């Protein structure tokens, strides 16, 4: 078990370094990707500021600073997810319909791991700079104190958030094994991500329930932020973050593995 883990980890780095090498061949491409990524994030930031300037100081007892913090935090797990899980989007078309999953099944490695590693979107990581800027700005406004422990917790929660997204979207991508011709679920779920960028308490009970227990996007940014905002009300949920991340990714992997048994390859 541990041995398998080490082999996979080692390979992860080997794949990544290979990937970076090929990306470097297209330097202009990479730089353009980085610049557009940064630009996109900056535009969102300006947009937020304008939005809040108009809307006044609070939404449903949340101050602008707090909301900015949550928003800024949410950028981290989302971009980490964009960086390491972009290939989930291609599972139906490239791997299942075109039959490239054959190749994946012929190697003594976890199949999801291989699919994820075959495409990495490093450019997305640049977006985290903007997230960092927003979080710093919000922290200053709210007079938050940062300690080493908090920084480490921050990183841990960001990674948990990535796995929550990862698990949910792995599950959705797995449905292509059963219905390769139907890709409809990905887009609506993608829109759900937006709901996780704001305090769950602003939504109605039904939506709150969904965001917490069905598609647990509330655990990606909102509950982690509540920890840094010293909001004692959500203590239980904060403690549950790693559990939810673990369960989400595990569920995704279980559904993936069930799905692979339905893989039928192609006729030629």
Ligand X SMILES: Nc1ncnc2c1ncn2[C@@H]1O[C@H](COP(=O)(O)OP(=O)(O)OP(=O)(O)O)[C@@H](O)[C@H]1O
188 binds, among ligand X, other proteins, none (CB under 5 to 8 A by kind): none
Q: Are the C-beta atoms of 80 and 169 separated by less than 8 Å?
A: no
Give the distance from CA 73 to its chain's centroid.
12
Q: Is 98 in the site for ligand X (CB under 6 A)?
A: no
Closer CB to ligand X, 40 or 178, in the complex: 178
Which residue among 11, 16, 34, 159 contacts other proteins (CB under 8 A)? 11
Among 56, 108, 188, 267, binds ligand X (CB under 6 A): 267
Give per-residue burial for 146-172: e unless 16+ CB within 10 Å, then b: eeeeeeebbeebbebbbbbbbbbbbbb
Q: Answer yes or no whether residue 102 interacts with other proteins by CB under 8 A.
A: yes
Q: Rounded to the nearest whole angstrom, what is the least distance from the CB of residue 248 to other proteins in the complex?
A: 25
C-beta nearest to ligand X: residue: 267
Q: Tokens 């609070």: give the residue.
A: 58
247 to 266, contacts with ligand X by CB under 6 A?
Answer: 264-266
CA nearest neighbour of 166 among 96, 104, 215, 223: 215
The answer to whether the beta carbons of residues 199 and 60 sit under 8 Å apart is: yes
Position among 15, 82, 203, 246 found at the interface with other proteins (CB under 8 A): 15
According to CB under 8 A, which one of 39, 50, 103, 243 is a site residue for other proteins? Answer: 103
Please identify which residue in the block is written with the tokens 């403690």: 239
Contact window for other proteins (CB under 8 A) among 47-55, 61-69, 79-87, 97-105: 97-105
As measured in angstroms, the least distance from the Cβ of 96 to ligand X is 10
The closest alpha carbon to 115, from 6, 244, 256, belongs to 256
Q: CA dist 41 to 5, 76, 82, 219, 267, Å?
A: 35, 12, 14, 22, 44
Nearest to 189 by CA among 36, 81, 68, 40: 81
The yes or no reply on residue 93 touching other proteins (CB under 8 A) is: no
Residue in this structure with the two tokens 């969904």, named with its chain if needed: 210
Q: Which residue do the tokens 């598609």 mark?
A: 215
The region of 9-17, 72-80, 125-133, 218-226 touching other proteins under the rule CB under 8 A is: 9-17
Residues that bind other proteins (CB under 8 A): 4, 7, 10-11, 14-15, 18, 21-22, 99-100, 102-103, 105-109, 118, 181, 261, 263-265, 267-268
Q: What residue ranges bind ligand X (CB under 6 A)?
A: 264-267
């Amino acid at each position: 078990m541990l041995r398998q883990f080490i082999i996979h980890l080692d390979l992860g780095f080997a794949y990544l370094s290979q990937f970076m090498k090929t990306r470097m061949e297209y330097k202009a491409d990479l730089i353009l990707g980085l610049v557009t990524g940064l630009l996109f994030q900056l535009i969102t930031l300006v947009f937020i500021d304008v939005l809040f300037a108009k809307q006044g100081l609070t939404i449903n007892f949340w101050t602008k600073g707090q909301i900015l913090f949550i928003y800024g935090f949410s950028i981290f797990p989302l971009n980490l997810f964009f960086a390491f899980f972009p290939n989930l989007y291609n599972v139906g078309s490239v791997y299942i319909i075109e039959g490239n999953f054959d190749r994946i099944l012929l190697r003594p490695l976890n199949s999801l791991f291989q699919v994820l590693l075959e495409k990495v979107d490093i450019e997305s990581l640049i977006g985290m700079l903007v997230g960092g800027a927003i979080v710093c700005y919000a922290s200053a406004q709210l007079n938050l104190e940062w300690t080493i422990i908090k920084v480490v917790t921050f990183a841990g929660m960001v990674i948990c958030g990535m796995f929550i997204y990862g698990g949910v979207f792995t599950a959705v991508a797995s449905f292509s094994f059963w219905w390769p011709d139907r890709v409809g679920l990905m887009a609506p779920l993608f829109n759900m991500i937006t709901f996780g960028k704001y305090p769950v308490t602003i939504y109605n009970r039904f939506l709150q329930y969904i965001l917490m227990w069905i598609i647990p996007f509330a655990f990606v940014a909102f509950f982690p932020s509540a920890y840094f905002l010293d909001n004692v009300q959500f203590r239980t949920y904060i403690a549950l973050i790693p559990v939810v991340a673990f369960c989400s990714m595990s569920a995704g992997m279980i559904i993936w593995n069930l799905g692979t048994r339905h893989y039928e390859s192609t006729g030629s």
